[in-house]
Amino acid sequence: MKKNILITGGAGFIGSHVVRLFVNQYPQYHIFNLDALTYAGNLANIRDIESQPNYTFIKGDITDGPLMMDLFRQHSFDGVIHLAAESHVDRSIADPLSFIMTNVVGTANLLNAAKASWNGNFEGKLFYHVSTDEVYGSLHNPEDFFLETTPYDPQSPYSASKAGSDHLVRAYHNTYKMPVVITNCSNNYGPNQFPEKLLPLMINNILKGKPLPVYGKGENVRDWLFVVDHARAIDMVFHKGVIGETYNIGGFNEWKNIDIVHLLCRVMDRKMDKPEGSAASLITYVKDRAGHDLRYAIDANKIMKELGWEPSLQFEEGLEKTIDWYLANAEWMDEITSGAYQQYYDNQYTTR
Ligand code: NAD
Ligand code: TYD
């Protein structure tokens, strides 16, 4: 039977890879991609699948509760994969309220619309919330890893808003028996990532000969996963995950920020035929991020053992692929940094 699947945030970085995978791999599903096309949403990310018969784009904002109700009434979604969010920690420090609106209120609107539409008949239904490891807070002991049982201790407005939405999703499961699943993933990298995040920002600045701003001493540690491996994990959890469960996703791939920037600089010099040390000469230490979490590191054993997922790419290979993509898609970056892509949407989509 044909299933209607709602994917939110599918014009963003991770969502675009999830939409592509589902549209190509599951002709028996109709994929509805709901996205508000904020500064972070870019339909160019999924241009290759937009004319597939099992795909529909809906421009809409998840903070619009009545619209969410209408969409569920109209399309009777069987499954939801919810990725739409405000996603950048630095922006959340500057403007926390927009994070609370989209991440908390927006998620509540989707849960409410799903609850009303499913009306207690949960056979074949699933609400899948895509979340982050940042809800667990910051690790200080080098031996520690985030487990699914690690208590929540979010430190930034971004992670607090994602923690709030995770709690709401669990509350709908506990209270209304809503069939839900949650995954908490580590830092993603790869094609289509908006250039305010570490790796694409650094790649863009190297290409433009601009300073590479490293926050504080560059000692903070992040655990990096190639975005396509995250999309594969989402596919696996959507189809094989146990209802009510949480799965942590990560690549056992920890890097200090300064080390990853140096590695990136070396690869960029090689690819751009520049003498070694050229890109690294642009490294500039800048004021630290307020409340900067020291270390994130995921223990991904549960999803690996219970669902058989594992990352497909070694980090060096994923980094090469990512750099090659940005080098081959200079126009994508130029359109974003010039704002031209937004003017295009303003003309294309004038609904809500
Ligand atoms: P992104 O910022 O690249 O994309 C977010 C998308 O959501 C954009 O297309 C944007 O237009 C859309 N959106 C924002 N507000 C909206 C609203 N009110 N209504 C409808 N659409 C809206 O983010 P991303 O990095 O792709 O992250 C996707 C999800 O994965 C988020 O929920 C994030 O918390 C989670 N996550 C991200 C990472 C990471 O490293 N990027 C890691 C773990 C989890
Ligand atoms: P980011 O990509 O913003 O992801 P997150 O804060 O969600 O982990 O940043 C990754 C790390 O890189 C984080 O420790 C902050 C640091 N960082 C810099 O040092 N300079 C930068 O310009 C940016 C954007 C991030």
Query: pLDDT truncated to tens, each residue of the chain (352 aa)?
Result: 689 999 999 999 999 999 999 999 999 999 999 999 999 999 999 999 999 999 999 999 999 999 999 999 999 999 999 999 999 999 999 999 999 999 999 999 999 999 999 999 999 999 999 999 999 999 999 999 999 999 999 999 999 999 999 999 999 999 999 999 999 999 999 999 999 999 999 999 999 999 999 999 999 999 999 999 999 999 999 999 999 999 999 999 999 999 999 999 999 999 999 999 999 999 999 999 999 999 999 999 999 999 999 999 999 999 999 999 999 999 999 989 887 776 655 555 443 3
Could you tell me the CATH number of the domain that includes residue 68? Answer: 3.40.50.720
**Domain region containing 21:** 3-188+224-249
Pairwise CA distance, residues 166 & 173, whole Å: 11
Please give the pLDDT value at position 352: 32
Is 148 a residue of the active site?
no
Could you tell me if 213 and 168 lie in one domain? no
Report if residue 270 sits inside a domain: yes
Report if residue 301 sits inside a domain: no
Could you tell me if 181 and 195 lie in one domain? no
Please give the pLDDT value at position 338: 85
Q: Pick the residue whose CA is nearest to atom 6 on ligand 2.
A: 89
Report if residue 181 sits inside a domain: yes
Report if residue 77 sits inside a domain: yes
Please give the pLDDT value at position 340: 74
Q: Quick count: other Cβ atoms within 10 Å of Cβ 149?
A: 8
Asked if 180 contacts 126 with a C-beta cutoff of 8 angstroms, the reply is yes
166 Cβ contact list (under 8 Å, min separation 6): 129, 131, 135, 152, 182, 184
Could you tell me if 182 and 39 lie in one domain? yes
pTM above 0.85, yes or no: yes
Could you tell me if 134 and 209 lie in one domain? no
Could you tell me if 212 and 235 lie in one domain? no
Could you tell me if 201 and 176 lie in one domain? no
Ligand nearest to the CA of 352: 1
Number of domains in the chain: 2
Report if residue 297 sits inside a domain: no
Q: Quick count: other Cβ atoms within 10 Å of Cβ 277?
A: 10
- Helix, strand, or coil here: 194? coil
Asked if 160 contacts 154 with a C-beta cutoff of 8 angstroms, the reply is yes
Could you tell me if 213 and 118 lie in one domain? no
Pairwise CA distance, residues 180 & 125, whole Å: 9
Could you tell me if 163 and 215 lie in one domain? no
Q: Residue 249 CA: which ligand 1 atom is closest?
A: 43
Report if residue 351 sits inside a domain: no
Q: Is the CB of 215 under 6 A from ligand 2?
A: yes
Report if residue 82 sits inside a domain: yes
Report if residue 131 sits inside a domain: yes
Q: Pick the residue whose CA is nearest to atom 15 on ligand 1.
A: 85
Which of 257, 285, 293, 295 to mutate for ligand 2's pocket (most ligand atoms within 8 Å of CB)?
257
Asked if 269 contacts 275 with a C-beta cutoff of 8 angstroms, the reply is yes
Could you tell me if 161 and 218 lie in one domain? no
Find the distance separating the first CA and the last CA of the chain, reported in whole Å.
Answer: 32
Could you tell me the CATH number of the domain that includes residue 319? Answer: 3.90.25.10
Could you tell me if 206 and 121 lie in one domain? no
Could you tell me if 144 and 203 lie in one domain? no
| Phi, then psi, of 234 in degrees rounded to 5 | -60, -40
Could you tell me if 230 and 270 lie in one domain? no
Reading across the β-sheet that carries 3-8, which strands appear in turn? Answer: 55-59, 29-35, 3-8, 79-82, 126-132, 180-185, 246-249
Q: Pick the residue whose CA is nearest to atom 19 on ligand 1.
A: 61
Pairwise CA distance, residues 256 & 139, whole Å: 13
**Residue count (the chain):** 352
